């Protein structure tokens, strides 16, 4: 795979992932904007509304027919929270031209035209989005927000993040808030959309067997020509050192059959290059089936149904996630804290370090096995202003030593203990 980045306009970048590994081309458009309470719900609505219709394909039926004509191409959209940013994502996947009959239209060009129309040329009525589409998608979004309580583990994690980042952008729920929907209508949502398109960071990704003419094709597209140069309004990813002096303990009650214990930890680290050491630390501590948490909390003490940890690179946090019997809260917390202290003392082996490195390298190797995974990787590199290739990433993992992991362990502090019980 060969990667190339081109600035189409100021604030708008084209990313080409040239590969013959797949029979499809995948095109993605990422719109990155600041997370804020005023706009989070509007931003969450926009992908779903845009997907309902374009200027030339006004209904879902027309869209589906067009995709069928494109040999079964597929269109999708989504929403992410990345650091203090909200990312609106749009994808179109189509068969590569090399695998189509000789007289077929240029499918890559056709796919580009379609996704640009979906994102930049929506179906409008009376100087706004179609009212019916907006109202229906508001109802769908309301159901998503109300439904977050159904996944108790995810709900507990979101609540822990809300407590850790109270009154900060990252504490916002990526799908927004029901109470904010009341004042959203087809006209002010469209006005917000225009402002978003005019100011957000835009990243276009094209993965597959890509013609060298792709740059010119994109630059000459009418929807792209309309876009202006911009100084994108988004939060640049910065790794900030954080150290908690006091634990914040939050306990909430809900009808649950199993307690959900989430512990948010800060890292007193401000060097992006140390993320490789943190990844190894997390893997040994709670990020694998042989981790300290899994072995000591779940297997030996039988206190947890699940016990793991995850590293949130863009916010410099590690989150511990345990499903436990409610009566085991104190004991489980005690053993978890003991594992944190044991890591600080270096109570793990060189073999565990090497096994963690092998596991992470194996997971990095499969980045190239799926087009959307490749795109996600290079997009995260773009947001963090990193130029690290997949190969360099693996080489950096190999340089991690036990001493470096111990150093990271001693930079960890507990910020928030959140417990969801009955």
CA–CA distance, 325 with 115 (Å, rounded to integer): 48
Domain boundary residue, one of 174, 193, 225? 225
DSSP labels for 30-68? EEEEE--TTTHHHHHHHHHHHHH-BSS--SHHHHHHHHH
User: What is the mean predicted confidence (pLDDT) over 231-255?
Assistant: 91
The verdict on 26 and 157 lying in the same domain is: yes
What is the reported pLDDT for 326?
94
Is 80 exceeded by the pLDDT of residue 131?
Answer: yes
237, 83 Cβ separation under 8 angstroms? yes
Whether 153 and 11 share a structural domain: yes
The DSSP secondary structure of 268-290, one letter per residue, reads ----GGGHHHHHHHHHHHTSSTT
Measured at the CA of 33, the angle between CA 221 and CA 7, to 5 degrees, comes to 40
Residue 205, pLDDT score: 98
**Would the pTM count as exceeding 0.85?**
yes
Same domain, 353 and 278: yes
pLDDT band at residue 239 under the 50/70/90 scheme: confident
* Spatial distance between the Cα atoms of 342 and 163, rounded to a whole number of angstroms: 27
Residue 160 tokens read as: 């822990």
pLDDT tens track for 70-109: 999 999 999 999 999 999 999 999 999 888 988 778 999 9
At 255, list the tokens: 């009808």
pLDDT tens for each residue of 272-315: 889 999 999 999 999 999 999 999 999 899 888 899 999 999 99
Retrieve residue 58's tokens.
Answer: 């006004």
Domain enclosing residue 347, as ranges: 248-421
CA-CA distances (angstroms) from residue 207 to 224, 372, 373? Answer: 19, 9, 11
Contact criterion met (CB below 8 Å) for 262 and 319: yes
Of 225, 256, 275, the position where a domain reaches its end is 225
Do the domain assignments include residue 336? yes
Residues 274 and 358 in one domain: yes
For residue 286, tell me if it sits in a domain. Answer: yes
The SS3 assignment for 204 reads strand
d(CA 33, CA 185): 21
Residue 12 lies in a domain: yes
Domain harbouring 270, CATH code: 3.30.830.10
Answer yes or no: do 211 and 343 share one domain: no
pLDDT value of position 19: 94
Q: What percent of the chain has pLDDT over 70?
A: 100
Residues 253, 215 share a domain: no
Q: Six-digit token pair at 173?
A: 């729920």
Residue whose C-alpha is closest to residue 33's, from 197, 225, 229, 228: 197
Predicted pLDDT at 231: 95
**Do 28 and 110 reside in the same domain of the chain?**
yes
- What SS3 state is found at 318? strand
Residue 212 has a pLDDT of 84
The Cα–Cα gap between 234 and 236 comes to 6
Question: What is the CB neighbour count within 10 angstroms for residue 413?
Answer: 16
Q: Do both 141 and 279 map to the same domain? A: no
Q: Is residue 306 part of a domain?
A: yes
Q: Residue written as tokens 């640009």?
A: 116
Are the C-beta atoms of residues 334 and 377 closer than 8 Å to each other?
A: no
- Angle at Cα 103 formed by Cα 101 and Cα 106, nearest 5°? 90
Angle at 33 between CA 32 and CA 37, to 5 degrees: 140
Q: How far apart are CA 328 and CA 258, in angstroms?
A: 10
Q: What is the CA radius of gyration of the chain?
A: 23
Measured distance CA(201)–CA(264) in Å, rounded: 30
> How far apart are the C-alpha atoms of 306 and 323, rounded to whole Å?
5
Same domain, 36 and 144: yes
Does 148 lie in the same domain as 41?
Answer: yes
The answer as to whether 232 is a domain residue is no
**Residues 304, 218 within the same domain:** no
What distance in Å separates the CA atoms of residue 412 and residue 266, rounded to the nearest whole number?
6
Cβ atoms < 10 Å from Cβ of 300: 10
Q: Are residues 109 and 22 in the same domain?
A: yes
From 168, 194, 225, the end of a domain falls on: 225
Q: Sort strands 248-253 and 412-421 into parallel, antiparallel or unpaired.
A: parallel
**30 located within any domain:** yes
Q: Closest Cα partner for 85 from 48, 31, 41?
A: 31
How many domains, in total, are found in the chain?
2
Average pLDDT, the chain: 95
Q: Quote helix, strand, coil % in the chain, to nearest 5.
A: 50, 25, 30
Is residue 72 one of the residues assigned to a domain?
A: yes
Please determine, for residue 1, whether its predicted confidence score (pLDDT) is greater than 90: no
Residue 203 lies in a domain: yes
């Amino acid at each position: 795979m060969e990667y190339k980045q081109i600035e189409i306009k100021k604030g708008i970048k084209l990313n080409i992932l040239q590969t013959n590994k797949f029979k499809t081309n995948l095109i993605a458009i990422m719109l990155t904007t600041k997370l804020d309470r005023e706009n989070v719900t509007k931003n969450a609505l926009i992908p779903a509304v845009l997907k309902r219709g374009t200027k030339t394909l006004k209904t879902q039926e027309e869209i589906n027919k067009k995709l069928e004509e494109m040999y079964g191409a597929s269109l999708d959209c989504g929403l992410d929270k990345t650091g203090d940013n909200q990312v609106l994502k749009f994808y179109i996947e189509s068969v590569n031209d090399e695998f189509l009959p000789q007289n077929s239209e240029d499918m890559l060009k056709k796919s580009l035209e379609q996704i640009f129309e979906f994102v930049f040329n929506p179906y409008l009525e009376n100087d706004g989005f179609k009212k019916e589409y907006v109202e229906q998608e508001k109802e769908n979004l309301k159901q998503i927000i109300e439904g977050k309580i159904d996944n108790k583990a995810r709900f507990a994690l979101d609540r822990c993040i809300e407590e850790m980042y109270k009154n900060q952008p990252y504490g916002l729920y990526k799908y927004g808030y029901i109470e904010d929907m009341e004042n959203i209508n087809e006209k002010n949502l469209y006005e917000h959309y225009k402002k978003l398109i005019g100011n957000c960071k835009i990243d276009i990704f094209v993965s597959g067997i890509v013609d060298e003419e792709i740059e010119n094709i994109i630059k000459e597209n009418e929807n792209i020509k309309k876009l202006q140069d911009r100084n994108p309004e988004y939060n640049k990813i910065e790794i900030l050192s954080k150290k908690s002096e006091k634990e914040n303990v939050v306990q909430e009650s809900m009808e649950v059959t199993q307690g959900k214990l989430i512990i948010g930890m800060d890292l007193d680290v401000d060097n992006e290059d140390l993320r490789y050491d943190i990844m190894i630390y997390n893997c040994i501590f709670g990020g694998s089936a042989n981790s300290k948490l899994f072995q000591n909390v779940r297997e030996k003490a039988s206190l947890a149904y699940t016990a793991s940890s995850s590293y949130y690179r863009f916010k410099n946090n590690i989150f511990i996630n345990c499903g436990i019997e409610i009566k085991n809260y104190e004991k489980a917390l005690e053993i978890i804290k003991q594992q944190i202290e044991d890591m600080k003392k270096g109570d793990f082996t060189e073999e565990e370090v090497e096994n963690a490195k092998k596991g992470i390298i194996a997971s990095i190797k499969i980045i190239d096995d799926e087009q959307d995974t490749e795109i996600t990787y290079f997009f995260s590199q773009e947001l963090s202003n990193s130029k690290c290739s997949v190969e360099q990433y693996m080489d950096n993992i190999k340089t991690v030593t036990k001493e470096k992991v111990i150093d990271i362990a001693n930079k960890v502090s507990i910020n928030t203990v959140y417990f969801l019980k009955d």
